[in-house]
Amino acid sequence: MFSKVRQRLKSSGRLPDLEVPVVKRIQLLSQIYDMTKSLLHDAREVIKMFDQEEGTLKNSTEAYADTLRVLGASVKANNPEYTIFLEKQAEIYDELGHLQRRLQYDLSVKVVTPLSGWIHADFARMNSEMKRMYEKKTDFDSISSEVARNPRDGGLIHQQDLCRREYERQMEITKLELLRLSGIRNEHAKILSQFALAWKDYTAAARKLFEQIDSAPSKMTSVKGG
């Protein structure tokens, strides 16, 4: 894919601008980074949306279940049937809270951990190698300008050759890093599917629980009627 780069460097005596395949790979890296940041943001927002602002060990749904139990206990003497109803509701909300915790765990392990690890490790390394490549190119461009003004200066010509070699070496390192992007993009697509699957499983299970909650009043009515 990048085979023409080195050939042109050797034949021209000057370094050209980055070739289209390299530029496209750099653009792809930027796209993957933006997508990763967006997915991380969404996953973290979902993870924290069930938490209480006070930072207690229980999430908001589990806290609501506790409130129902307290209310049930307070009316037990005068209305034991209503207490039973509230206890059943509390059990449902406890189960919903468990589902939410499971979703939080799945997103943390399957989405946040691998993506944040990629940003702090692989992306940081790629970015560092690209930065070094541009620095080497700047060095070469600078010394080439000096050689153009002093074409017979042997010291400058030698320094230009050294800068060229350093730039070529760094470009090869950078290209090897960038060539991994197709595989990385595929891996991130799998992580996105894990996000979607975890959310789908949660919403399906939560829907069943809400159906139980919706049907509870009619059951309560039948208890009173009996």
**pLDDT tens for the chain, residues 1 to 226:** 334 444 444 444 444 467 788 888 999 999 999 999 999 999 999 998 888 666 556 788 888 888 888 988 888 888 888 888 888 888 888 899 899 999 999 999 999 999 999 999 999 999 999 999 988 988 998 999 999 999 999 999 999 999 999 999 999 999 999 999 999 999 999 999 999 999 999 999 999 888 877 776 544 444 444 4
Reported pTM? 0.74
- Alpha-carbon gap, residue 163 to 193, rounded angstroms: 45
pLDDT for res 118: 97
Instruction: Report the chain's terminal Cα–Cα distance, integer Å.
Output: 79
pLDDT for res 57: 66
Which of these, 186, 201, 207, lies nearest to 104 by C-alpha position?
201
Structure tokens at 139: 């060095």
Q: Which domains does the chain have, with CATH numbers?
A: 21-225 (1.20.1270.60)
Structure tokens at 23: 């530029």
C-alpha distances (whole Å) from 221 to each of 139, 176, 213, 225 are: 83, 70, 14, 6
- Alpha-carbon gap, residue 15 to 168, rounded angstroms: 9
Q: Phi and psi (nearest 5°) for 77?
A: -65, -40
Of all helices (H) and strands (E), which one includes residue 75? helix 60-75
